[in-house]
Structures are given as structure tokens and as C-alpha cells.
Structure 1
């Protein structure tokens, strides 16, 4: 009886998360479609309004309408709130409001929070929500403070503060929305280290995951860190450093990106181009002007994405780490996947490969569909767009603005699945785990 209740609660938790995101997207789409949201004072095409809302809630950053020039301040604030809710999860805000109102947090609420925040257990979840919100607002405040040193002199006091807050929230939540106009992102600040480094730090901090930062905050030595945190930090460092070096090598002679910059700016923009695909969506150089190698590197970084329990999307660094470690173990002839003196359970390895396969299949299928609906676009650009949507990144080579109606719907579904789907799939595997009382005879098949 107890097992049935637990299963029911698990099922409801998944449904609440999926439905919750959908409702927030729909409300955001309705608000953005109203005349009070656009600078022209006219109704916005509902598909474009929902597309923008989906992109904001899924913290992606792909837009069909320029955020800085199309929407008025009300519309931009709606987008900013959708980004914050989408980045932290609506359950965090619901819990925060419940605590303010003095309401009790039930077991069902804790189960939903556990799935939304991707934690190991339900113990200490309410305390963690307080930590997450406090940590988030503190980081965003200091990010806005640093950005204001650049934006206030350029835009004036009030507009400069507003721009600083918006871009700090967008950076920390890995959303990639900007108010600078012309679909230009931060290309106008390619030689401004304060803006690029501040945004990159916000992206990295938001993308590492709150569990990792809690351990780092309570740091008591490398040996005290969990295997999860060690893998996340190691993979993140390798991707950032390796991505920077490779991006520099691929683009160093490309006049359309960093070819005409001095060495310092080349390194800075290569670093930013390696950080932003994980999974923020800001770009300081032309994405369409990148070499094919640069675009493919970006696709790989977008696909891997950030870390579990963070504001980022994608496959996730921990999942990618398990896949790589398993391959290494097979090559070395080891039975178990091992690292840092620990081995991982077989079901964890199976889930990692399942999520990897599902993610890759989704990207390829979406690319195939887009090649039919958008026949005039290059294949590499469509693969780039599909991966950006799945990884909730927001980088584009310009395809987003040229999408057909069907193409927009496909990308919206991909963004939604990228934000909600992998978690739902992983939980589905957990729910369906059953102990078998018998085993079939072993079969043999040729591999390789």
C-alpha cells in the first residue's frame, strides 16, 4: 500500500513539474501578446509571444523578436521574471511564497522540490531553497553592481541600473536575453573585459549547480568534496580551458570573428565563446561568421551544457562524465565505471547512456525536420539551431529569425523538452525499476 502511494506521488510530481512549466509559459505568452507589452502598443502575434515566453521560461534565449527594440519596459520585465522563474524553478518560488505566508510544506511538495532541484534526498530541502534563493539574489546583485560600472556611464543612471539588473539575471540564469538591440547580443563589447568577464562568471556560477556551490561554500578540503562535485568541477574546467584553446586555434585567422583583434582580445573572446555555450546564449563575436570547426565546437559545448541542479540545460557535465569514464573503463578492461576511488552502480551508468542517446536522437530528429521545413538553410546552421534549443542555450546563426511557423513550433517543443524532458526521462527510469526474480539465458552478439 505504501509503495503504491509513493509511486502515485512520484508520478504526480513529474506531472506537476511538466504542467507547471507549461502553465507559466502560457501565462507569459498571453501577457506578451497584449498591447501593453509591445513598444508599438499593438497586439503581438501569439506564436511569437509564446515562442518568446517558452524561450524565457526554458532559459534559452532564442528570439524571433528583438528583445531590446520590440518590447517595452513592461514586456521586458515580464521576460525577466519568466527567466528568473524558469532558471530557479517555479517550485522554489512557490515554496518561498508558502514560507512567507506561514504555510506548511507537505511531503508531496518536498517530493516535487526534490525532482525540480535534482537532489539526492528530501532532507533539508526547505533549508536548501532558502540557500538557493539567498545565494541567487546575492550573486545577481554583485553581478549587476559590476555591470553598472559600464552601463551607467553609457546609458545614464536609471537605464544603466535597469540594464545591469536585467543582464545579471539573464547571465546567472543562463538565459542569454539582452536589451542591446539589433539581435547583436554583446558583440559591441568584444573589447570590454569587465562586461565579458562579469557575464562569464555569472554563467559559470549559475551553471555549476547549487549543490556544488553549497559544498564549495562549506569547503573543508578536496577529500571532503563529494564525487559529484569533483566530477562537475573537473569536467567544467576541462571544457572551459579546452574550449578556449580550441576556439582560439579555429578562429585566430578568421576576420569575421577574432582575426583582426589584438592577442588579448582574441584570448578574451575565445574564452567567452567557450563559456557562453554552457548554456547562456550571449555572443561577443559573429556566430554566423564562425568557421565550420568553430561552429562544430560550439555544437559540442551546447550539447554537453551545464551541471545538474543548476540554471543551465544540455546533457549535463555529470552525465557526460559518466559516459566518458565508462568508455575509458571498457577500453582498460575494467568491469565497473570508476573514478576518485569510487565505482558507480550499473543502473546509474545505464541512465547516463540512455539520456545521452535520447538527447542525441532528439537533436538529430529535430535537425532532420528543420531541413524539411527550412530548406534554404545550411545543414550546419540547422544542427546548430537544434542543439541550441535542446541545450537551452540561445545561440543562433540567424536561423531563429527566419523560421517558418512550423519551424518555430518545432523549436518551442525542443526547448520545452530540453528544459523538462531529460529529467522526466531519468525519473521514468527510476519509477520503472523492478527487481526480477528470474534471468534469461545469456545471449551473444558481435560488437564493433
Structure 2
């Protein structure tokens, strides 16, 4: 038992923790009390839903609002909240309340969970994260409840407001609207669109970035990481919104029938939601192929490191672009905001992107074998959505075979924890090389 504990590095603990959380959630969702009909959900469907919730994805094989009882919906909400912020965040908060000292090993776990560069100030960061999260979710819930109260009884509106605020802030994408229609009824509603977009963006920036912005009043400085995340996020959202507006402007099944304001809101929402939120106001199956392909790219990139979002992360994407530009210009160093990016970060960025591409390509290939009869872009879209923990779907998920569902479960799990975390958990502790082989040159390009 002692040897087992000694072999548990931070990566292994995080992987094991998520496995336990998912299995616990699946068992609860498998209970008869968890469904509207009072009949047990097939265990594979319960496992799929629990994985999607804990990995804050939002892909569903059964409609959440139509299938689950209030108990089942609260279980899903619990999994979303724990999965979004990380079980170590809640454990640390409970330990602090109980007066327990946070050990170095626990600080290392927090550092791994938030993808931070140092263990310094992690406990203080956790407290701020929890307070910020609860306040943001509460504000979002109140705004949404006020709007929903115009369409439903006040008690239901309050419940819907809190459920969707927590789900969206954690970039999960689960909704209670029924019939797999998500938020399509509110495509041109500025109240809902702006609130949901704000929650998605804030949740996807990353807690390290949010903490730096909070401390900016005193420090008057921002790290390169924060500058990269803010700049890239703004560029991707604005650029994608403009392209989607142009691609869907005359599409009678999406933006075509809407006013100019409605078109703008629809394009904005769809440029934000691929940051791994999963909610949609436009029918995914009716989008043009250009918009679908752009959505796939955005889903693969994802949000900020250490956030509730998935994907390879915007910082990884920016480092890759900066490296390519430096090589094309013949520069030796890769620089961002007048700072040289260390080679370790560049290699890690390439590794994360390559692992992500391999996973998406492999899952797409396997889905095309296990679930025949669909157009190719549906397989690619579903695989990317699962890896990026997005939750957007062209309608393939509910029709997946048992093998296809298992493939998506594994992909969501890998996407939430990250390829590197899982890789480090499966491999032995890395040792310092005692010697180096002679250099070898390979022709590239």
C-alpha cells in the first residue's frame, strides 16, 4: 500500500480522481430516481452522461431536460461543478475550513490541476477561484432567471437560471430546454446571448489569467501568458464572428431570416461557443460546410490553460504560430510581447498539438468504421467536439453504437485531462539522461 502511494505522482492522482468521480456519478445516474420515468438508465448511457458532465463537455446520448428527474439533473450539476473547477480545488477548500495544513504534495497537485508554473500562492488562489466562481455563477443565474421568468413560472425560471449559469460558466453545455434544441429559441435575444457569451468567455480564460487581472490594480503588470490568452481570445472571437456572419448571412436555415442585429448576435454566439461551451443558438446540422470547418478549428484550439475549457489551448496555438513565423523569417528565437519563449514551452506546445491531432484523427477513423452511414464531416466534428470537451454535435451522438459511445467517452476523458497529463500518469517517473547521443541531421520540408 505504501509503494502504491509513493508511485502516485500528481498526474496519476488527477487521472484516478476523475475516474472515481465519473464512476460515482454514473452509479447515481443509473438509479431509478435519476430519471423522469423511474426506470434505470442503461449503465453505458449513465456512464456517458457522467463522463460528459465531469469532463465539462456537454455531449449527450439522451436529452437532459426530457430524460432526467430533478435528482438526476442535480447530480449532473454536481459533476459539472466538481469537474470544471477540479476536485483538488474543493478538497483544498474543505481542508482549509477544517484547519488542516496543505502539504507540499497537495500543492503540487493543485499546480498540476491549474497547469501553473509554481506552487507559490496556490492556496490563496484556490480561495479566490471559489469566491469568484460562486459570485459569477450567481450573477449569471439571476440575469438568466429574470429573462426566463418571461417564458415560464418563476420557480422554474430560477432553477433554469442557476442550472444554465453553472453549466455554461464551466463550459459544459448541458441544458434543460428539451428535444436537443439547446438555446435555439433565443438566437436573437440580446439578454440571453450576451449573458451566456460572457459566462463562456470568463470561464474559458483560465483562473491564472483572472487572478492576474484582479491583482493588476497593485502589480500594474501582466505576464506574457495572460497577454497571449487575452489577445488570442479576442482575435479568435472577433475574427470568427465576422467569418460566420459572412458564411451564414444568406443561409435560410440559420442567419438568413434574422434581422441584422439577430444575425450579429447569432454569429457572435457561434464564434464564442466553440471555445468548449457546447450550447448553440443555430442548428448545427444546417450550417454551411465553411462554418462547420471553422467550428472544428475553433473547437480544437479551445480556451485558456487552467480554465474550465478544453482543446489544445489558445496559448499552445499562439506558440505554434509564433514558432512558424520565426522560422519563416529566419529568426533563431521565438518571441511574444518582447519576451523569448523557452524551448521547453515550444516542445510542449508541439507535443500537445500533435497528440491532440493524433487522437482526433484516430477517433474519426474508428467512428467511420463503427458507425457507418454518415457523412465524413460528422465523424470529424464529433471527435473534435469530444476531444475539445465542447459538446456541440451535428446529431451523431445519440445515434452512436455502444463501441462508438465508448470511443467518445475515452476521448472526452483524454480531452479534459490533457494528453500530457494522461501520458505522464501512464509512464514511469522521468529520469535525467546520464548521457547524450551524437547529433544527427534530418532533411525537413
Who is 1:5 aligned against? none
| Structure 1 position 444, deviation (Å) | 2.7
- For 2:122 and 2:429, how far apart are their aligned partners in 1? 21
8 A Cα contact 1:279 1:302, kept in partner: yes
Q: Which of 400, 410, 430 is the aligned partner of 1:432?
A: 430
Q: What is the CA distance between 1:9 and its match in structure 2?
A: 6.5
Note closer, same or farther for the CA distance 1:33–1:426 as it changes in structure 2 (3 Å cut): closer
Correspondence 1:304-319 to 2 at 5 A: 304-319=301-316
234-243 vs 340-349, which moves further = 340-349
Match runs of 1:208-227 below 5 Å: 208-220=205-217, 224-227=221-224
Post-superposition Cα deviations, 1:48-97, rounded to whole Å, max 9, x if no partner, equal: 00100000000000001110011010100000010000000011111111
Q: Tell me if the contact between 2:242 and 2:267 (Cα under 8 Å) persists in the aligned partners.
A: yes
1:364 aligns with 2:364: no
How many Å separate the matches in 1 of 2:165 and 2:420? Answer: 26
SS of 1:224's equivalent in the other structure is coil
2 CA distance for matches of 1:182 and 1:25? 25
Matched, 1:25 2:25: no
Does the CA contact (< 8 Å) of 2:414 and 2:422 recur in 1?
no
**Structure 1 residues 76 and 134: CA distance shift in structure 2, 3 A:** same
Cα distance per residue 1:378-422 (max 9 Å; x no partner): 100110000000000000000001100100000000000001133
How big is the shift at 1:188?
0.7
Listed as ranges, the matches of 1:149-168 within 5 Å are 149-168=146-165
In the alignment, what sits opposite 1:379? 376
2:235 to 214, 238, 245: 238
Q: Give the unaligned 5+ runs of structure 1.
A: 1-7
TM-score scaled by structure 1? Answer: 0.95
Partner residue in 1 for 2:182:
185
**Cα–Cα, structure 1 residues 117 and 265, in superposed 2: closer, same or farther, change >3 Å?**
same
What is the TM-score when the length of structure 2 is the normalising length? Answer: 0.96
Pairwise mapping of residues 52-201 of structure 1 onto structure 2 (< 5 A)? 52-201=49-198
| Native 8 Å contact 2:15 2:422 kept in 1 | no
The answer for the alignment partner of 2:45 in structure 1 is: 48
Would you say the 8 A contact 1:248–1:266 is kept in 2?
yes
* TM superposition shift of 1:149: 1.4
How far has the Cα of 1:220 moved from its partner?
4.5
Q: Deviations over 1:354-396 (max 9, x none)?
A: 1100101100000000000111111001100000000000000
CA deviations 1:209-245 (Å, max 9, x no partner) are 0111111112249971100000001110110001101
In the alignment, which residue of structure 2 is the partner of 1:293?
290
Secondary structure at the counterpart of residue 119 of structure 1: coil
Once superposed, which parts of structure 1, at least 4 consecutive aligned residues long, lie more than 4 Å away? 8-11, 220-223, 425-431
Please identify, of 113-122 and 218-227, the stretch whose mean Cα deviation from structure 2 is larger: 218-227
CA RMSD across the alignment: 1.8
Q: Between 366-375 and 249-258, report the one with greater CA deviation.
A: 249-258
What's the secondary structure of 2:211's corresponding residue?
A: helix
Q: Tell me if the contact between 1:200 and 1:272 (Cα under 8 Å) persists in the aligned partners.
A: yes
Higher mean Cα deviation, 9-18 or 31-40? 9-18
- Contact kept? 1:351, 1:426, Cα under 8 Å: no
Contact 1:10-1:111 at 8 Å conserved across structures: no
- 1:147 deviates by 0.6
| Residue 7 of structure 2 corresponds to residue 13 of structure 1 | no
TM-aligned CA distance change 1:236 to 1:36, over 3 Å? same
CA contact (8 A) 1:9 1:111 kept: no
2:319 corresponds in structure 1 to 322
Partner Cα distance (1:333, 1:223) in 2: 34
Q: 1:426 to 1:198 in 2, by over 3 A?
A: farther
State the 1:13 CA deviation: 1.4
Unmatched segments (≥5 aa) in structure 2:
none
Q: Give the 3 Å change call, closer, same or farther, for CA 423–85 of structure 1 in structure 2.
A: farther
Q: Deviation of residue 153 (structure 1)? A: 2.5
Distance 1:335 1:123, change over 3 A: same
- How far, CA to CA, are the matches of 2:218 and 2:121 in structure 1? 23
Q: Distance in 1 between matches of 2:419 and 2:444?
A: 28
1:427 & 1:70 partners in 2: Cα distance?
38
Distance 1:319 1:32, change over 3 A: same
d(CA) in 2 for partners of 1:110, 1:423: 19
Aligned partners of 2:12 and 2:424 also within 8 Å: no
Alpha-carbon contact 2:245-2:267 (below 8 Å) kept: yes
CA distance in 2, matches of 1:176, 1:371: 25
Q: Is the 8 A contact 1:355 1:425 kept in 2?
A: no
